[in-house]
């Protein structure tokens, strides 16, 4: 809606009450769940901004954790999740069994989860990137929180993780310590590189922060199909994720023009990192950041709307 422009003029409200946009089709509410990492926020606000500007939707962004978002789609309080990382258990429960949620296609982003060290460490200890050498360096990673073992820093409690089982099954002399959030992880990497202090942490791509600091992936035993079937016995690296979108069945059946937009939405890791950087590093408002990218990439946006 053009409220932002109109506000400057202080014009009469009756001038602007018609739902703006070119589509003309009535869109209504669109409730996009927002999960706690910046890459997700980029997806959500780019889709949201397009839906608002082009389709005239009334977009809201409930901040929820992943699992809660699924639950929200099931009970009708959320319409869509726009970056989903696997969750086979939830897929079974909500898509296969209950049928309250539908897959809405890939986002085009390839997801990687893994363990990373700051660049200075990879340089100084070149063999650290192989998990078999991790025990050799465990002492380096000791902190007050890790109880005499090496520390492996994890993210938000809601993130997909096998780390504890991995440490146990790979017989690593490490202790998983929960850092709390994406921002906490980034801050830790930043100060580790700056002060040349050791750090081993859970992290993921796509991730804008790699442009600032080229973190180095630590290779775990190679992933093979099904090696992570039993969460308690998992002893292999995380699978490559093809990130996808989800919509609630109810919303899919509502006939909203936003359904097609969400299904059509796809972009690259670079695209997402760019928007994420606008938000996280440049401190832009997510809507402004999304709008900036939309303005710079009209072709891609048009493709989603066709």
Partner 1 sequence: MSTATVESPGPAGPASGPNRVDKEQQPYVEVQKPRRTGIKLLVLLAVWLVLYAVFKGKMTKALGLQDTNSLHQKLNDARDWVQLDGKDNWFFGGVLGAIGDALDAIVKFFQELISIPAFPRPVPEIGWLGVVAVLAWITYAVAGLRSTLLVTGTLLFFGVTDQWSNSMDLLIITMLSVVICILIGLPIGIWMARSKAASGVITPVLDVMQTFPPFCYLAPLALFFGIGPACAMVLTIIYALPPVVRITEHGIRSVSPTTIEAARSLGLTRQQMLRQVQLPMAKRTIVVGINQCTMAALSMATIAALVNGPGLGKVVVSALQTLNVGVASVSALCIVLMAIMLDRTTTAASERGQGRSNVGSASGMGVMLTGVVLERLPRWATEDAGRGQRLPRVTAAGRGFLLALLFVPAVVLVLLSRQQLNLATFPDVSETPVLKWISGPQLAKGINNFTDWLVSGVDTYTIWIKDHITMWFIDPLQSLLSDSPWWLMALVLLALAYVLGGWQPAAYTLACEVIIYFTGVWNDTMVTLSMTLIATVMTMLVAVVLGVAMGRGRKADLIIRPFLDAFQVIPPFVYLVPALALFGAGRFTAIVAAMAYSVPIATKLVADGIRGVSPTTVEAVRSTGSTRWQMISKVQLPMARESLVLATNQGLLYVLSMVVIGGMVGGGSLGYIVVSGFSQDQLFGKGLAAGVAIAALGVMLDRIARYAAARYGR
Q: What SS3 class is residue 102?
A: strand
The closest of 115, 56, 120, 79 to 257, measured between CA atoms, is 56
Asked whether the beta carbons of 52 and 96 are under 8 A apart, the reply is no
Least Å distance, CB 64 to partner 1, is: 6
Q: Which residue has the tokens 């409690």?
A: 157
Stretch binding partner 1 (CB under 8 A), from 3-11, 130-138, 219-227, 247-255:
3-11
Residue 38 or 80 having the CB closest to partner 1? 38
132 binds partner 1 (CB under 8 A): no
Q: CA-based Rg of the chain, rounded to a whole angstrom?
A: 21
Least Å distance, CB 286 to partner 1, is: 10
CA distances from 7 to 13, 56, 145, 286, 294 (A): 10, 18, 52, 20, 22
103 binds partner 1 (CB under 8 A): no
Kindly tell me which residue out of 17, 171, 295, 306 binds partner 1, with binding defined by CB under 8 A. 17
Q: What distance in Å separates the CA atoms of residue 176 and residue 262, rounded to the nearest whole number?
A: 36
Q: What distance in Å separates the CA atoms of residue 1 and residue 154, rounded to the nearest whole number?
A: 40
> Is residue 80 within a helix (H) or strand (E), and if so which, with residue range?
strand 80-84
Kindly tell me which residue out of 25, 67, 123, 255 binds partner 1, with binding defined by CB under 8 A. 67
Q: What distance in Å separates the CA atoms of residue 176 and residue 179, rounded to the nearest whole number?
A: 9
Encoding tokens for residue 94?
A: 């909500």
Kindly tell me which residue out of 97, 230, 295, 299 binds partner 1, with binding defined by CB under 8 A. 97
Asked whether the beta carbons of 287 and 127 are under 8 A apart, the reply is no
- Which string of x and - marks every residue 228-247 that binds partner 1 (by CB under 8 A)? ---xx---------------
Neighbour count for residue 23 (Cβ, 10 Å): 18
282 binds partner 1 (CB under 8 A): no
Neighbour count for residue 240 (Cβ, 10 Å): 10
Residue 90 or 274 having the CB closest to partner 1? 90
Kindly tell me which residue out of 156, 205, 228, 237 binds partner 1, with binding defined by CB under 8 A. 156
Residue 181 or 266 having the CB closest to partner 1? 181
Least Å distance, CB 70 to partner 1, is: 8
Q: What distance in Å separates the CA atoms of residue 131 and residue 128, rounded to the nearest whole number?
A: 7
Which of the residues 162 through 221 are near partner 1 (CB under 8 A)?
162, 164-165, 168, 176-184, 187-188
Which of the residues 244 through 273 are near partner 1 (CB under 8 A)?
none
Q: What distance in Å separates the CA atoms of residue 5 and residue 12, rounded to the nearest whole number?
A: 13
With CB under 8 A, what is the number of residues at the site for partner 1? 68
Kindly tell me which residue out of 43, 45, 47, 70 binds partner 1, with binding defined by CB under 8 A. 70
Kindly tell me which residue out of 24, 126, 147, 240 binds partner 1, with binding defined by CB under 8 A. 147
Under the rule (CB under 8 A), what is the footprint of partner 1?
Answer: 1, 3, 6-7, 9-14, 16-19, 28, 34, 36-38, 58, 62-68, 70-72, 74-78, 87, 89-90, 93, 97-98, 143-145, 147, 153, 156-158, 162, 164-165, 168, 176-184, 187-188, 231-232, 280, 283
């Amino acid at each position: 809606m053009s409220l932002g422009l109109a506000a400057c003029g202080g014009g009469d409200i009756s001038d602007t009450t018609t739902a703006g946009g070119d589509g003309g089709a009535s869109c209504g509410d669109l409730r996009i769940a927002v999960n706690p990492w910046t890459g997700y926020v980029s997806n959500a606000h780019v889709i949201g901004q397009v839906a608002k500007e082009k389709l005239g939707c009334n977009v809201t962004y409930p901040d929820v954790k992943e699992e809660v978002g699924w639950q929200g789609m099931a009970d009708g309080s959320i319409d869509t999740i726009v970056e989903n990382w696997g969750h086979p258990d939830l897929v079974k429960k909500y898509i296969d069994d209950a049928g309250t949620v539908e897959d809405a296609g890939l986002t085009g982003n390839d997801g990687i989860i893994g363990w990373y060290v700051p660049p200075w460490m990879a340089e100084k200890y070149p063999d650290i990137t192989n998990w078999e050498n991790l025990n050799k360096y465990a002492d380096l990673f000791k902190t007050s929180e890790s109880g005499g073992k090496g520390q492996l820093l994890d993210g938000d409690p809601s993130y997909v993780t096998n780390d504890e089982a991995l440490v146990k099954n790979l017989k690593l002399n490490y202790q998983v310590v929960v850092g709390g959030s994406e921002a906490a992880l980034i801050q830790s990497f930043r100060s580790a590189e700056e002060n040349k202090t050791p750090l081993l942490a859970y992290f993921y791509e796509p991730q804008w922060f790699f442009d600032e600091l080229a973190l180095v992936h630590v290779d775990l035993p190679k992933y093979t199909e099904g090696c992570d079937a039993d969460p308690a016995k998992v002893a292999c690296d995380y699978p490559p994720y093809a990130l996808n979108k989800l919509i609630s069945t109810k919303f899919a059946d509502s006939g909203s023009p936003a359904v097609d937009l969400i299904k059509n939405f796809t972009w690259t890791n670079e695209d997402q990192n760019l928007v994420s950087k606008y938000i996280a590093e440049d401190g832009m408002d997510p809507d402004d950041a999304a709008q900036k990218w939309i303005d710079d990439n009209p072709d891609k946006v048009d493709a989603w709307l066709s």
